[in-house]
Structure 1
Amino acid sequence: MNLEVGSTLSFSRTFTKEDVDTFTKLSLDEGVHHVNPDENGNVIVQGLLTATLPTKIGGENDVLAHTMNFTFLKPVITGDTITCVVTIDHYTKKDNGRRSITASFRCINQDHIEVMTGLFAGVIK
């Protein structure tokens, strides 16, 4: 993709109990709200699992992040579909061939409720 200031990129994902179980094993984040289902069989998705949405978009564009900030606004539960929209805020080509990038993002659930915001900055080889 041709990145430029003002460009937006998006990705959506529905989180499952299996996603949370796998992330729990990898992260060792075993809070009871991640492992004990509620009366509907849902658990709360780990914040850092939710944070994989903007990192996926960055990874698809070969961003090597040096700063990432996340603000977790509302819990995400299994079964939620989250759409992450990344906006390129700053993009500069450097003399050494690298490009620097700063981007902000918003993550919204299927009910149009904002669940996470943040930004990342880094370089692209």
Structure 2
Amino acid sequence: MNGVPDLKVGEVLREHRAITDEDIAAFADLVGDRGRHHLPEQGRAMAHGLFTASLATKIGGQLHFIARRMGFEFLRPVWSGDTITAEVTVRALSEVRSGTGVEFDIEIVNQDGETVLRGDSTGVIRH
């Protein structure tokens, strides 16, 4: 496709991240969600769902992808100490007026191979 020569339908792009207490606290400060399950006085902190989802947006940023729609289903909690992997699959590519239309399927799994998030996104990579 013009402007996206290396992207192919069916291609899977991956990113990994180890989740730390410091990451969760920084995200809580950034967005203002300081729920006690995210910042407990004792025990492990639960990562924000949108923090978990942001791993997929890292892939979008590498592609200069402009999202028009995102949908997420949060299936399991992600805890401090977990390592998660985003798998973003190119579902469709099309020519649109402003560039290349892209549809992605998203799955994020934890270190045990359990799916913690499933979703999708549509948008454009501008030429």
Normalising by structure 1, we get a TM-score of 0.93
User: What corresponds to 1:36 in structure 2?
Assistant: 40
Q: Do the aligned partners of 2:98 and 2:124 also contact (CA within 8 Å) in 1? A: no
Instruction: List, as ranges, runs of 4+ consecutive aligned residues in structure 1 with deviation greater than 3 Å.
Output: none
The residue that corresponds to 1:93 in the other structure is 95
The residue matched to 2:81 in structure 1 has which SS? coil
Equivalent residues of 2:24, 2:48 under 8 A apart: yes
| Residues 1:17 and 2:21 are matched in the alignment | yes
Structure 1 residue runs of 5 or longer lacking an equivalent are none
**CA displacement 1:73-107 (0-9 Å, x = unmatched):** 0000001000110100010123x460000000111
Query: Residue 124 of structure 1 corresponds to which residue in structure 2?
Result: 125
| Structure 2: tracts of 5 or more residues without a match | none
Aligned length in residues: 122
Instruction: Give 2:75's aligned residue.
Output: 73
State the superposition RMSD in angstroms.
1.3
Structure 1, residues 42-69: CA drift from partner, whole Å, max 9, x if none? 1000001001111111111011000000
Distance 2:15 2:28 in 1: 23
